[in-house]
Amino acid sequence: MKELIRFAAHLEMNFGPGVPFHDRWRAARRSGFRGCEFVWRNVELPAAAELQKAEPLAVSCLGGTTGAAAGARPVLILPEDRDRLMKDVETATAYARELSCRNLVMVSGNMIRDWSVEKHREEAVRSLRSIAPILEEAGVTALIEPLNSKIDHKGVYCDTSAEGFRIVEQTGSPNVKLLYDAYHMQVMGEPIVRTIRERSGLIGYYHLAKVPGRTEPIGGEIDVPAFLEAVADTGYDGFVGLEYKPSGDYRDVFRRLSDAYPEQIDGQDPIDENYR
Angle in degrees, 0-180, between the axes of helices 21-30 and 250-260, rounded to the nearest 10 = 30
- Measured CA to CA, the distance from residue 141 to residue 77 in angstroms comes to 18
74 prior amide bond cis, ω within 30: yes
Catalytic residues: 145, 243
Q: What is the DSSP letter of 170?
A: H
Instruction: Quickly list DSSP for 227-267.
Output: HHHHHHHTT--SEEEE----SS-HHHHHHHHHHH-TTTS--
* 201 three-class SS: helix
- Measured CA to CA, the distance from residue 59 to residue 49 in angstroms comes to 10
Nearest to 38 by CA among 84, 93, 104, 102: 104
Ramachandran area for residue 140 (φ above 0: left; ψ -120 to 50: alpha; else beta)? beta
